[in-house]
Protein backbone atom coordinates (compact mmCIF):
# COMPACT_ATOMS: atom_id res chain seq x y z
CA UNK A 1 0.00 0.00 0.00
CA UNK A 2 1.34 3.43 -0.96
CA UNK A 3 1.75 6.12 1.68
CA UNK A 4 -0.48 8.61 -0.17
CA UNK A 5 -3.14 7.54 -2.67
CA UNK A 6 -5.30 9.85 -4.78
CA UNK A 7 -8.03 8.21 -6.85
CA UNK A 8 -10.47 9.57 -9.42
CA UNK A 9 -10.21 13.13 -8.14
CA UNK A 10 -12.40 15.87 -9.64
CA UNK A 11 -13.07 19.39 -8.41
CA UNK A 12 -15.27 22.22 -9.61
CA UNK A 13 -15.57 25.91 -8.75
CA UNK A 14 -19.00 27.53 -8.80
CA UNK A 15 -20.07 31.14 -9.13
CA UNK A 16 -23.37 32.89 -9.87
CA UNK A 17 -23.10 32.28 -13.63
CA UNK A 18 -21.31 28.99 -14.18
CA UNK A 19 -19.53 25.93 -12.84
CA UNK A 20 -15.91 25.48 -13.90
CA UNK A 21 -14.13 22.13 -13.74
CA UNK A 22 -10.63 22.81 -12.38
CA UNK A 23 -9.34 19.27 -11.73
CA UNK A 24 -10.24 16.07 -13.56
CA UNK A 25 -9.32 12.40 -13.31
CA UNK A 26 -6.35 12.82 -10.96
CA UNK A 27 -4.78 9.51 -9.98
CA UNK A 28 -1.42 9.18 -8.26
CA UNK A 29 0.46 7.31 -5.56
CA UNK A 30 3.30 8.62 -3.41
CA UNK A 31 5.61 6.41 -1.38
CA UNK A 32 6.76 7.18 2.16
CA UNK A 33 9.79 9.45 2.19
CA UNK A 34 9.28 10.46 -1.44
CA UNK A 35 9.48 14.09 -2.59
CA UNK A 36 7.24 14.99 -5.54
CA UNK A 37 6.48 18.26 -7.32
CA UNK A 38 3.56 19.63 -9.34
CA UNK A 39 4.48 21.83 -12.31
CA UNK A 40 2.11 23.35 -14.84
CA UNK A 41 0.71 26.52 -16.41
CA UNK A 42 -1.00 29.11 -14.21
CA UNK A 43 -4.58 28.08 -13.54
CA UNK A 44 -3.98 24.33 -13.90
CA UNK A 45 -5.15 23.67 -10.34
CA UNK A 46 -1.84 22.96 -8.56
CA UNK A 47 -2.69 24.90 -5.39
CA UNK A 48 -6.28 23.62 -5.44
CA UNK A 49 -4.95 20.06 -5.55
CA UNK A 50 -2.64 20.78 -2.62
CA UNK A 51 -5.53 22.28 -0.63
CA UNK A 52 -7.61 19.14 -1.26
CA UNK A 53 -4.75 16.91 -0.10
CA UNK A 54 -4.50 19.08 3.03
CA UNK A 55 -8.19 18.58 3.75
CA UNK A 56 -8.94 22.29 3.34
CA UNK A 57 -11.24 21.64 0.35
CA UNK A 58 -13.68 18.78 -0.18
CA UNK A 59 -13.34 17.39 -3.74
CA UNK A 60 -16.35 17.10 -6.01
CA UNK A 61 -15.47 13.45 -6.48
CA UNK A 62 -12.64 11.09 -5.57
CA UNK A 63 -10.67 10.03 -2.52
CA UNK A 64 -7.43 10.93 -0.75
CA UNK A 65 -5.88 8.45 1.67
CA UNK A 66 -2.77 8.69 3.84
CA UNK A 67 -1.63 5.28 5.10
CA UNK A 68 -5.06 3.90 4.24
CA UNK A 69 -6.99 6.57 6.19
CA UNK A 70 -9.37 8.87 4.31
CA UNK A 71 -8.52 12.59 4.45
CA UNK A 72 -11.69 14.61 5.15
CA UNK A 73 -10.39 17.66 6.99
CA UNK A 74 -7.16 19.27 8.23
CA UNK A 75 -5.18 17.06 10.59
CA UNK A 76 -1.89 17.20 12.48
CA UNK A 77 -0.66 14.43 10.16
CA UNK A 78 -0.39 17.06 7.40
CA UNK A 79 1.91 20.09 7.57
CA UNK A 80 1.26 22.98 5.17
CA UNK A 81 3.88 25.64 4.38
CA UNK A 82 2.89 28.61 2.21
CA UNK A 83 4.62 31.38 0.27
CA UNK A 84 3.93 33.78 3.13
CA UNK A 85 5.13 32.77 6.58
CA UNK A 86 1.93 33.95 8.35
CA UNK A 87 3.74 34.44 11.64
CA UNK A 88 1.73 36.30 14.27
CA UNK A 89 3.44 39.71 14.58
CA UNK A 90 2.36 40.18 18.20
CA UNK A 91 3.83 36.84 19.32
CA UNK A 92 7.47 36.04 20.01
CA UNK A 93 9.29 33.50 17.83
CA UNK A 94 8.92 30.86 20.54
CA UNK A 95 5.19 31.55 20.84
CA UNK A 96 4.85 31.32 17.06
CA UNK A 97 6.55 27.93 16.72
CA UNK A 98 4.41 26.52 19.53
CA UNK A 99 1.15 27.55 17.83
CA UNK A 100 0.51 24.22 16.11
CA UNK A 101 1.33 22.25 19.23
CA UNK A 102 -1.13 24.29 21.26
CA UNK A 103 -3.89 24.08 18.63
CA UNK A 104 -3.55 20.28 18.46
CA UNK A 105 -3.26 20.11 22.27
CA UNK A 106 0.08 18.33 21.93
CA UNK A 107 2.06 20.98 23.78
CA UNK A 108 4.23 19.82 26.68
CA UNK A 109 7.71 20.57 27.94
CA UNK A 110 9.36 17.80 25.91
CA UNK A 111 7.73 19.03 22.68
CA UNK A 112 8.71 22.59 23.56
CA UNK A 113 12.36 21.63 24.01
CA UNK A 114 12.33 19.61 20.77
CA UNK A 115 10.96 22.58 18.84
CA UNK A 116 13.56 24.94 20.32
CA UNK A 117 16.29 22.45 19.45
CA UNK A 118 15.03 22.34 15.87
CA UNK A 119 15.03 26.14 15.78
CA UNK A 120 18.72 26.03 16.69
CA UNK A 121 19.40 23.32 14.09
CA UNK A 122 18.05 25.55 11.30
CA UNK A 123 20.53 28.26 12.31
CA UNK A 124 18.29 30.40 14.51
CA UNK A 125 19.91 30.45 17.94
CA UNK A 126 18.80 32.86 20.63
CA UNK A 127 15.89 34.31 18.68
CA UNK A 128 13.11 32.87 20.86
CA UNK A 129 12.27 36.19 22.51
CA UNK A 130 12.41 38.23 19.30
CA UNK A 131 9.39 39.20 17.18
CA UNK A 132 8.89 38.43 13.46
CA UNK A 133 9.55 42.06 12.45
CA UNK A 134 13.09 41.68 13.79
CA UNK A 135 13.93 38.84 11.37
CA UNK A 136 14.72 38.76 7.64
CA UNK A 137 12.41 37.05 5.15
CA UNK A 138 14.59 33.95 4.98
CA UNK A 139 14.77 33.71 8.77
CA UNK A 140 10.98 34.04 9.02
CA UNK A 141 10.52 31.19 6.55
CA UNK A 142 12.83 29.04 8.66
CA UNK A 143 10.66 29.84 11.68
CA UNK A 144 7.58 28.84 9.64
CA UNK A 145 9.31 25.58 8.73
CA UNK A 146 10.07 24.81 12.39
CA UNK A 147 6.46 25.64 13.33
CA UNK A 148 5.25 23.19 10.66
CA UNK A 149 7.64 20.39 11.66
CA UNK A 150 7.09 20.86 15.41
CA UNK A 151 3.81 18.92 15.25
CA UNK A 152 5.67 16.01 13.57
CA UNK A 153 3.41 15.75 10.49
CA UNK A 154 3.56 12.63 8.33
CA UNK A 155 3.55 14.65 5.12
CA UNK A 156 4.70 18.18 4.32
CA UNK A 157 2.88 20.27 1.69
CA UNK A 158 4.89 23.15 0.22
CA UNK A 159 3.05 25.81 -1.80
CA UNK A 160 5.79 27.92 -3.43
CA UNK A 161 7.35 28.63 -0.01
CA UNK A 162 10.56 30.15 -1.40
CA UNK A 163 9.26 32.18 -4.34
CA UNK A 164 9.40 35.55 -2.56
CA UNK A 165 13.05 35.15 -1.52
CA UNK A 166 16.24 36.20 -3.27
CA UNK A 167 18.00 33.48 -5.28
CA UNK A 168 20.77 32.71 -2.79
CA UNK A 169 18.42 32.55 0.22
CA UNK A 170 16.04 30.41 -1.82
CA UNK A 171 18.69 27.78 -2.59
CA UNK A 172 19.90 27.77 1.03
CA UNK A 173 16.34 27.09 2.21
CA UNK A 174 15.88 24.38 -0.44
CA UNK A 175 19.00 22.68 0.95
CA UNK A 176 17.76 23.06 4.53
CA UNK A 177 14.34 21.61 3.73
CA UNK A 178 15.81 18.63 1.86
CA UNK A 179 18.23 17.92 4.72
CA UNK A 180 15.49 18.05 7.36
CA UNK A 181 13.08 15.91 5.33
CA UNK A 182 15.71 13.22 4.88
CA UNK A 183 16.70 13.46 8.54
CA UNK A 184 13.10 12.97 9.71
CA UNK A 185 12.12 10.66 6.80
CA UNK A 186 9.22 12.86 5.75
CA UNK A 187 7.12 12.69 2.60
CA UNK A 188 6.72 16.01 0.76
CA UNK A 189 4.73 17.56 -2.08
CA UNK A 190 5.87 20.82 -3.67
CA UNK A 191 3.87 23.20 -5.86
CA UNK A 192 6.18 25.47 -7.84
CA UNK A 193 6.58 27.39 -11.09
CA UNK A 194 10.37 26.99 -10.87
CA UNK A 195 11.63 24.11 -13.04
CA UNK A 196 15.09 24.21 -11.46
CA UNK A 197 13.58 23.97 -7.99
CA UNK A 198 11.41 21.01 -8.97
CA UNK A 199 14.32 19.10 -10.52
CA UNK A 200 16.80 19.79 -7.72
CA UNK A 201 14.43 18.80 -4.88
CA UNK A 202 12.21 16.07 -6.31
CA UNK A 203 12.19 12.34 -6.89
CA UNK A 204 9.32 12.68 -9.37
CA UNK A 205 7.72 15.64 -11.14
CA UNK A 206 4.09 15.69 -12.29
CA UNK A 207 3.30 18.02 -15.20
CA UNK A 208 -0.31 19.23 -15.32
CA UNK A 209 -2.55 20.21 -18.23
CA UNK A 210 -4.96 23.09 -17.73
CA UNK A 211 -8.73 23.56 -18.28
CA UNK A 212 -9.27 21.27 -16.47
CA UNK A 213 -6.13 20.40 -14.54
CA UNK A 214 -5.05 16.82 -15.08
CA UNK A 215 -1.76 14.94 -15.02
CA UNK A 216 -0.14 15.09 -18.46
CA UNK A 217 3.22 13.50 -17.75
CA UNK A 218 5.26 12.04 -14.91
CA UNK A 219 9.02 12.59 -14.92
CA UNK A 220 11.40 10.52 -12.83
CA UNK A 221 14.43 12.59 -11.86
CA UNK A 222 17.62 10.56 -12.53
CA UNK A 223 19.04 8.94 -9.40
CA UNK A 224 22.45 10.60 -9.75
CA UNK A 225 20.69 13.98 -9.52
CA UNK A 226 18.34 12.89 -6.71
CA UNK A 227 21.29 11.91 -4.51
CA UNK A 228 22.73 15.44 -4.63
CA UNK A 229 21.81 18.54 -2.67
CA UNK A 230 19.76 21.18 -4.56
CA UNK A 231 22.86 23.32 -5.10
CA UNK A 232 24.96 20.38 -6.32
CA UNK A 233 22.12 19.06 -8.49
CA UNK A 234 22.12 22.29 -10.50
CA UNK A 235 25.76 21.62 -11.47
CA UNK A 236 25.16 18.06 -12.70
CA UNK A 237 25.74 17.47 -16.46
CA UNK A 238 22.26 15.96 -16.91
CA UNK A 239 20.50 18.86 -15.21
CA UNK A 240 20.42 21.25 -18.17
CA UNK A 241 19.06 18.66 -20.62
CA UNK A 242 16.30 17.70 -18.18
CA UNK A 243 15.46 21.37 -17.63
CA UNK A 244 15.15 21.96 -21.37
CA UNK A 245 13.01 18.85 -21.84
CA UNK A 246 10.57 19.97 -19.13
CA UNK A 247 10.56 23.54 -20.52
CA UNK A 248 9.52 22.27 -23.95
CA UNK A 249 6.85 20.04 -22.44
CA UNK A 250 5.38 22.94 -20.43
CA UNK A 251 5.31 25.13 -23.55
CA UNK A 252 3.39 22.39 -25.32
CA UNK A 253 0.93 22.15 -22.43
CA UNK A 254 0.31 25.91 -22.48
CA UNK A 255 -0.59 25.71 -26.17
**What integer pLDDT is reported at residue 28 of this predicted model?**
93
Average pLDDT estimate for 161-175: 88
Find out whether 213 and 24 touch, Cβ atoms under 8 Å. yes
Could you tell me how far CA 53 lies from the centroid of its own chain? Answer: 11
| pLDDT tens, position by position, 233-248 | 999 999 999 999 999 9
Query: What pLDDT is recorded for position 94?
Result: 92
- Judged against a pLDDT cut of 90, whether residue 215 lies above it is answered with yes
Residue with more model confidence, 93 or 74? 93
Return mean pLDDT, the chain: 91
Structure pTM? Answer: 0.92
Domains of the chain in sequence order: 4-77+154-254 (3.40.50.300), 85-152 (no CATH)
Out of 30-34, 87-91, 165-169, which region has the weakest mean confidence (pLDDT)? 165-169
Give CA separation, 180 vs 91, 145, 152, 219, in Å: 25, 10, 12, 24
Summarised one tens digit per residue, pLDDT across range 54-88 is: 999 999 999 999 998 899 888 888 999 888 888 99
Q: How far apart are CA 153 and CA 161, in angstroms?
A: 17
pLDDT in tens, 126-140: 899 999 999 998 899
pLDDT value at residue 255: 67
Instruction: Say yes or no to pLDDT of 107 above 90.
Output: no
Amino acid sequence: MSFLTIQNLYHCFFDAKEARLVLADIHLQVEQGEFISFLGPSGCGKTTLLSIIAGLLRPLEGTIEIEGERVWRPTSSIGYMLQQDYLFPWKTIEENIMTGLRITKAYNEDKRLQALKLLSEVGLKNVETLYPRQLSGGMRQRVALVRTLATNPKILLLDEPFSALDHQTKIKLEELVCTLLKQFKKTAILVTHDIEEAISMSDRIFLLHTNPGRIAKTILVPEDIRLLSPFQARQHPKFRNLFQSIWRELERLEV
